[in-house]
Structure 1
Amino acid sequence: MRWDSLFADLEAQLEAEAVHDRAAEVQEMVRIEKSQVALAARLVAWVGQSVDATTLGGQRFSGVLSHVGTGWITLGAAPLEYLLLTSAVRSLVADGERVAPESDLRQTKISLRMALRAVARDRAPVTIYAVDGSAAATGTVDYVGVDFIQIAAHSVGEYVSNSRIVARHVLPLSGVAALQRTV
């Protein structure tokens, strides 16, 4: 009988150790899974919520997160809309879910260049902010290259046409933080 309690105690210790090992393994698997989450997947869960973004240059943008793509997000704060390059964002603050379900990630497949080409097709005047926080150019997105955008500068309020363009600004995307347009 004494051996029965001795071996029962050993079995309980082994079971407790196995439970502890399984818990540690689950925690490690969760850490590994979290390390595979992309920023876009994290941000999709915040769509529809107010977000405060700070760029590398210290400029702050606030608004409702409306779109998330690969390398970019949009914030709306009527009458303004912002397209921010995530490479130029220092921090984002919101009170949202941790990660969006896989089914919600379809929109994140829209690349930065695709988004910028859509802005160019829209022909709406924009103000471009550089990563240092300064306003780099105002005008209409004229052309989107592999790693740059070209802005056709013209008087505010005028529809862009070749006769009204006063300058063309070529901006490397690495120096661009945000595009702002008035709705």
Structure 2
Amino acid sequence: MRWERFFDDLEGQLDAEWEAERAALDTEAERLRLSRLTLRERLAGLVRACEAVSVELSDGTVLTGAPVGVGADWMALEAALRRGGAVLVPLGGVVAIGMPHADLLRSARPAASGAGLSERMTLGFVLRDLVRKRIPVTVGCTGGRTFAGTMDRAGADHLDLALHELGAPRRREAVTGHRVVPFAAIGWVRLEAPVALP
């Protein structure tokens, strides 16, 4: 009888040690996975799954909206109460992102590997698509200035903006000036008309 209890006790200790070792390995594997997780991957996990985040930019601007797209170096937010389109935000200008705790935890979970075109789309790629579609925009610069109009061109690291009233179509007589804006100076780009992002 005593031997049976002795062996049962040893077996229980061995099971507990194996369980503890497996839990330690699982914890270490999770730490390793989290150490490789990028901001872009976390934001991609929130697209169309989170009602709203608040994005604080380096110039003090705070933008609030639902994440609706993420590219290689940008994210898109859509404000619930705003007519028009999304706001594109270069990730390089983001200081902090506020969200409910449940969404914070959701963004850290392993995501389904849906790596595709959106992962490689840069801000320049999206802006060139908007040039082609002739979408009116408001460009918020990191220094606090804003410019409204239609993008005529988007180069490798800058865009050309024809300034005009947003309610008016981009016509030569409506244009009040032109600006070349480096991508590095862009804090956000608000699309003033609804459009499907690429």
Q: TM-score range by the shorter chain?
A: 0.7 to 0.9
Aligned residues: 182
Q: CA deviation at 1:16?
A: 5.0
Do the aligned residues in 2 keep the contact of 1:41 with 1:108 (CA within 8 Å)? no
Which of structure 1's runs of 4+ aligned residues deviate more than 6 A? Answer: 4-15
Using the aligned pairs only, state the percent identity.
27
The code of the aligned residue for 2:83 comes to P
Q: Deviations over 1:77-120 (max 9, x none)?
A: 22143111111111222342224321376533322111111121
Distance in 2 between the 1:155 and 1:19 partners? 67
Give the corresponding residue for 2:75: 73
Distance in 2 between the 1:89 and 1:139 partners? 24
Distance in 1 between the 2:123 and 2:17 partners? 50
Superposition RMSD on alpha carbons, in Å? Answer: 2.8
Given the two structures, how large is their TM-score scaled by the length of structure 2?
0.76
Distance in 2 between the 1:47 and 1:32 partners? 24
Q: CA deviation at 1:10?
A: 8.0
* 1:54 maps to 2:62: no
* 1:45 maps to 2:50: no
SS in 1 for 2:47: coil
Distance in 1 between the 2:18 and 2:52 partners? 45
SS in 2 for 1:103: coil
Match of 1:146 among 156, 166, 171: 156
Do the aligned residues in 2 keep the contact of 1:139 with 1:152 (CA within 8 Å)? yes
Do the aligned residues in 1 keep the contact of 2:138 with 2:192 (CA within 8 Å)? no
Within a 5 Å distance, the mapping from 1:18-37 to structure 2 comes to 18-37=18-37
Given the two structures, how large is their TM-score scaled by the length of structure 1?
0.81
Distance in 2 between the 1:143 and 1:110 partners? 17
Distance in 2 between the 1:131 and 1:21 partners? 50
Give 1 or 2: higher strand fraction: 1
Give the corresponding residue for 2:175: 165
* 1:116 maps to 2:127: yes
* 1:94 maps to 2:99: yes
The code of the aligned residue for 1:113 comes to G
In structure 2, runs of 5+ residues without a counterpart are 194-198
SS in 1 for 2:66: strand
Do the aligned residues in 2 keep the contact of 1:69 with 1:109 (CA within 8 Å)? yes
The code of the aligned residue for 1:50 comes to A
